[in-house]
Amino acid sequence: MPSQATITDSSSGAAASVPTAVLDTLASRWRCSGLFISLLDPAGAVVYHDSHASPFFLEYVLAQFRAELGKSLALGADRIGRAPVDRSIPGVLLDIHPLIEKRRMQGILVLAAVDAAIDRTEDLQRAAGRLRLDAQWLLAAARRLPPADDNSFAHRSRLLLDMLHDQIRLAAVQREIDSVSGELSGSYEELTLIYQLTASMHITRTPADFFRQACTEYNEFTGVRSTGVALTVGSLPGAAPAMFGPMSLPAPELHRLGSLLVDAFNYDQSPIIINDLAASPSYAFLGRHARQLLAVPLFRPQKHLGALFALDKIASDFDSHDVKLLISIANASAIYLENSILYEDVRGLVMGLLHSLTSAVDAKDPYTCGHSRRVALLSRRIAREAGLDEAQCERIYMGGLLHDVGKIGVPEHVLSKPGKLTAEEFDLIRRHPAIGARILKDVKQIQDVIPGVLYHHERYDGGGYPAGLAGENIPLIGRVICLADCLDAMTSTRTYRKAMPLEAALVEIDRGRGRQFDPALADALLRIGDGRLKSLLAAHHALGGGGTLLDSAGDSAPAIGETR
Amino acid sequence: MTLISTDAAVASSARKILVVDDESHILHVVSLKLRNAGFTVVTGSDGQEGLDLAHSELPDLIITDFQMPQLSGLELCRRLRQEPATSHIRAIMLTARGYQLGPQDAEQSGIRRMLSKPFSPRHLLATVNEVLNEAA
């Protein structure tokens, strides 16, 4: 950082700092015309001088400043317009400019030149003597410099001051450009940050992922140690406050901070900025862990969703930029959050209705209670094991849930008939995939799920129904649901036979590889293994999923093809 | 503006970077960021000036806008790539969002990275350090 002197722009009255480099440039340009530049501080001490100047200036004039004259000049500059002070150097013309900034004298610019009348100056001898300088040597040095009379000196110093003022203005403009560039740079950062956030607002992303990104970006951008989020009760059920960054609070403090902020924003939505937590009564409990807090609300019209907060900006106090940026992030986050909540709401409604519908179908036959939900769970698990992406797995889950919806069109006495079916009855049963597909055909959001309903009774070898498709011609979703359906049917007690143990059912699945089942999918199912399948279905029971007899050791072992 | 403190810590030992863009505010923002990080910065306000400066200054790295009157950033980099004196100079290109550079273009022009506008100056600085640290 170059040292800076300050100077007043006398033409405009505006004050500005002058870098020493500016004085150096001017001094070197004016040296040959015999002008010497020096800057004194308000007490009269020399803070800048042209160090390449003639010995006349360096040994004589500067030495005079350093003796009592500097103080006298300072006093003079201070008293301009008041009592006159002696501020002359024999044989030298001086031009003195006090530098005023914010009504206070910041320094004194002194211009000097050799007086044309120096030969006739008797005081020079005495002055030189006091400084222990040889008067003849001094005079010789002075004669090598261009002499000035009062008029030409005034003229030249006026020119120099004008140049200096230009330089000052230039320096000020440069500083302004730098400052605007700095602001612009900050705006670019903000813009890219907000752009990235909005670009990542996919509804399928979990709020936790979204907030992790938002908070981490904010940490990096502002240099805070941690940024976190706390949601109002009911905005996202069960969402605990969370924070992201190298620093974290113990859980009790984090929860206390979360509810404190959420409550505070109930009444007042203005940002909370605390730069000394230990001294703040409400937040003193954080004092041991953090020093500073910045918090803003997550707000949508009429809806208070929660709070974003940042703890401990390392370098300095939180400033208006930090607040502005956190508000921008909070606004974007609130929109995302509101959409997530609406999405979850609608999704919950749709899934709830689907579960109700399929439970109603399952209820037509007391032995198939919970079957649809189990097939949905098993299908999704198989799909995951087979490496399908999560979106596909969810569609397959829905297909599993709906696969038997067509049984609504099959008479109950046929569905729940114990013992062998007649050919006509079996025909009625075989219609349920097509009936299901027809029921769903007008729901445009589930067109991709319908093949799962229509083709879940196709066989890999082509011997299934309704279309008799084989191999890869059977849509993937149909092949997955077929496996899940058969496994659940075998392990459940039906009107026409008892349940088979899971281990035995898996042996049957293995036997059906490539005949009834897609071999790759069958392998995926076998890879999951009986242990994990049992816990999957046990979890389903815990959710109130209805009875399966997975663990009961039935001794009848029906052929796979017998599932209806 | 608050900027993270890694700026000045970068050991750039006065490496020289040429920044070429016809939008002066970009030049100001980029050179401020790079100067604060200790780089020597030279700026040019169009492709032709960029070409002349690349010859006279022989920078370690060029950051150039893509869309410029007369000589585009891509053409500028291609020409430098063709001349032995400047063929080693690496480049970072600033483009409008969504623009993609073909692998052939990258090969012929020495362009190592693309950043779409508006870019994060913080990210630009990180990219500059990354490119300079890469083996030639």
Average pLDDT, chain A: 84
Sequence-distant contacts of A28-35: CB under 8 A, at least 24 apart = A28/A52, A29/A163, A30/A156, A30/A160, A32/A146, A33/A146, A33/A156, A34/A113, A34/A114, A34/A145, A34/A146, A34/A147, A34/A148, A35/A111, A35/A112, A35/A113, A35/A156, A35/A157, A35/A160
- Model pLDDT for residues B41-73, shown as the tens digit of each residue: 999 999 999 999 999 999 999 999 998 888 899
Report which listed range, A9-13, A195-199, A274-278, is most confident.
A274-278
Measured between CB atoms, which of B2, B4, B32 is closest to A181? Answer: B32
Least Cα separation, residue B82 to chain A (angstroms): 34
Tell me the pLDDT band of A15, cut-offs 50, 70 and 90.
very low
3-state secondary structure of A10: coil
User: Lowest-confidence range among A8-12, A128-132, A492-496?
Assistant: A8-12
Tell me, what's the pLDDT at A513? 92
Please name the residues in contact with A50: beta carbons below 8 A apart, sequence gap of 6 or more. A24, A27, A28, A31, A36, A37, A38, A57
Domains along the sequence of chain A with CATH: 4-174 (no CATH), 200-343 (3.30.450.40), 363-562 (1.10.3210.10)
- Model pLDDT for residues A315-366, shown as the tens digit of each residue: 888 988 889 899 999 998 999 888 888 888 898 899 899 999 988 888 887 7
Tell me, what's the pLDDT at B2? 34
Q: Give mean pLDDT, residues A460-485.
A: 94
Q: CB of A398 within 8 A of CB of A375? A: no
Sign of the dihedral defined by the CA atoms of residues A142, A146, A149, A155, in that order? negative
Tell me, what's the pLDDT at A73? 80
* Among B117, B109, B36, residue whose Cα is nearest residue B72: B109
C-alpha B113/C-alpha A25 separation (Å) is 41
Higher pLDDT, A277 or A204: A277
| DSSP H or E segment with residue A209 | helix A207-222
Residues in chain A: 564
> Tell me, what's the ipTM?
0.76
Tell me, what's the pLDDT at A233? 78
Higher pLDDT, A261 or A497: A261
For residue B115, what is the nearest residue in chain A, using CA coordinates? A192
Q: CB of A17 within 8 A of CB of A167? A: no
B122 touches chain A (CB under 8 A): yes
B29 touches chain A (CB under 8 A): yes
Least Cα separation, residue B85 to chain A (angstroms): 33
Cβ distance A185 to B3 less than 8 Å, yes or no, reads yes
Tell me the pLDDT band of A552, cut-offs 50, 70 and 90.
very low
A55 touches chain B (CB under 8 A): no
3-state secondary structure A352-419: HHHHHHHHHHHCCCHHHCCHHHHHHHHHHHHHHHCCCCHHHHHHHHHHHHHCCHHHHHCCHHHHCCCC
* A67 secondary structure, DSSP code: I
Q: Which residues of B touch A191 (CB under 8 A)?
A: 118
Measured between CB atoms, which of B2, B29, B121 is closest to A319? Answer: B2
The pLDDT > 70 percentage for chain A reads 90
Mutate to test the interface with B, among A1, A174, A176, A188 (most CBs of B within 10 A): A188
User: Lowest-confidence range among A227-241, A369-383, A393-407, A465-479?
Assistant: A227-241
Residue B10 has pLDDT above 50, yes or no: no
User: Lowest-confidence range among A196-200, A214-218, B11-15?
Assistant: B11-15
Tell me, what's the pLDDT at A81? 52
Unique residue bearing structure tokens 């509804």? A203
For residue A219, what is the nearest residue in chain B, using CA coordinates? B4
Tell me, what's the pLDDT at A430? 92
Q: CB of A221 within 8 A of CB of A325? A: yes
Cβ distance B25 to A181 less than 8 Å, yes or no, reads yes
B32 touches chain A (CB under 8 A): yes
The number of C-beta contacts closer than 8 angstroms across A and B is 60
Cβ distance A185 to B121 less than 8 Å, yes or no, reads yes
C-alpha B91/C-alpha B86 separation (Å) is 11
- Model pLDDT for residues A98-116, shown as the tens digit of each residue: 877 777 777 888 899 998 8
Tell me, what's the pLDDT at A319? 87
> What separation in angstroms does the CA of A43 have from each of A75, A84, A98, B9?
8, 17, 12, 38
Measured between CB atoms, which of A184, A315, A321 is closest to B25? Answer: A184
C-alpha A468/C-alpha A461 separation (Å) is 9
Residue A558 has pLDDT above 80, yes or no: no
Q: Give mean pLDDT, residues A215-229.
A: 90
Tell me, what's the pLDDT at A248? 84
Q: Which residues of A touch B24 (CB under 8 A)?
A: none
Residue A293 has pLDDT above 90, yes or no: yes
Domains along the sequence of chain B with CATH: 16-130 (3.40.50.2300)
Unique residue bearing structure tokens 């008799």? A468
Cβ distance A189 to B120 less than 8 Å, yes or no, reads yes
CA-based R_g, chain A, Å: 44
- B17 pairs with which residues across the strands? B41, B61
Tell whether pTM > 0.95: no
Q: CB of A323 within 8 A of CB of A294? A: yes
Tell me the pLDDT band of A471, cut-offs 50, 70 and 90.
very high
Residue A14 has pLDDT above 60, yes or no: no
- Model pLDDT for residues B74-93, shown as the tens digit of each residue: 999 999 999 999 999 999 99
